[in-house]
Amino acid sequence: MPFGIVSAWNKRRRSKSQDHSDPWVYKPVEFWQLEDQTPQSTKRRHGSSVFTLKEMEEATCSFNEKNLVGKGGFGRVYRGVLRSGEVVAIKKMELPTFKEAEGEREFRVEVDILSRLEHPNLVSLIGYCADGKHRFLVYEYLQHGNLQDHLNGQFITQNTILIPKSLMAYLVICDCILGFGKAKMEWPLRLKVALGAARGLAYLHSSSDVGIPIVHRDFKSTNILLNANFEAKISDFGLAKLMPEGQEIFVTARVLGTFGYFDPEYTSANDNLPEIDLGFVTKTVHVLSTFCTGKLTLQSDVYAFGVVLLELLTGRRAVDLNQGPSDQNLVLQVRHILNDRKKLRKVIDPELSRSSFTLESIAMFANLASRCIRIESSERPSMAECVKELQTIIYTNSKPMGMGMGMMSFKMA
């Protein structure tokens, strides 16, 4: 059952243009009263601001294409400047008529969850706009985009940066300090991103600030955003689901998430596959057909996290339909060699500088990834355990002697 939008929807709207007969007007009585499920000590007021359509237009210069920073199946994301001078990211939801109800639910869930949660590794929700049938989500602006773009060399192309020109000089400075530039992300920075994302998921799974564990359900590299210091922040909570205390499994009849990150216990083989989200497009996939078995747990996020670890290790996409049939799914391609040190070197991202990683840290990282993507969810580590192991891996990679030994053992063919 959907979450309830409780006190946030009761705020007095600044806009007087709202038509209260509109079927999309928020009606809290229709939604699950989350506060009834939450211990009194964890309740807190929603801190999100409510914006009008006019304010959204002003912030983006009437949605000028020059301010467009991303787009996908949900709509478009613009860089905007609020009247206060704060730079923000504004998600303008644009869905076809037959998906309006689904989009509305995801909009409400995201506002409700992000208004209640606060963690350095979760994207901050500044506010939202629900003016008539217009829906906008206003987030903190994260200068360095999403993880997948960096891993695939799409964030910087021929020295052209896909962020405002005012930030170009700053990125050059970061390149010198963090080893981030024309080449892909170096190993220490990838470990930092992995640890930040792990901390964010561990926070969600540990009951967070709402007193109930939360399953993200759509964790992937495009939903890991990076700020000016390359701190990872998890975004896009439209599919998130509460897991009430004592309920370890949630059963659903719908496949929700992104192909390539599905928990095997959530799906199984079948030739009849509904439309699956591939990130920027929605299409029917027959490469690894799946259907929903309905078993969703916190470990479903752990599996998706393991897939992201593989992306960090290899520099490849979770699913690449431009490859041959046997090479399209990253997990199927590398799972069998993650604990074989002799073969492991074949899948390490060739863009990584040899001096940036150690043999031991690579092996430990691959081992953690292999356990996260195990078929049986009971055999996967918890996100809290992932955090501890990544901290150890970072320490191992930073040892001077280990670096020399590792590089001698990892000479590339």
Binding residues for ATP: 92
Q: Are 315 and 151 in contact (CB under 8 A)?
A: yes
Residue numbers belonging to the annotated binding site: 92
**Which pair of tokens denotes residue 43?**
């309740």
Phi first, then psi: give them for residue 266, nearest 5 degrees.
-95, -20
Grouping H, G, I as helix, E, B as strand and the rest as coil, residue 146 is: strand
Concatenated DSSP letters of 312-371: HHH---SB-TTS-GGGSBHHHHHGGGTT-HHHHTTTS-TTS-GGG--HHHHHHHHHHHHH
Joined tokens for residue 116: 């209640």
Residue type, 182: K
CA dist., res. 147 & res. 189, Å (int): 11
CA atoms of 128 and 145, how far apart (whole Å): 20
Alpha-carbon separation of residue 228 from 12, 172, 292 (angstroms): 34, 12, 39
- 112, 131, 218, 301: the active-site residue: 218
Query: CA–CA separation, 318 vs 330, rounded Å?
Result: 5
Reply yes or no on whether 19 is catalytic.
Answer: no
| Bridge partners for 136 per DSSP | 92, 129
Residues known to be catalytic: 218
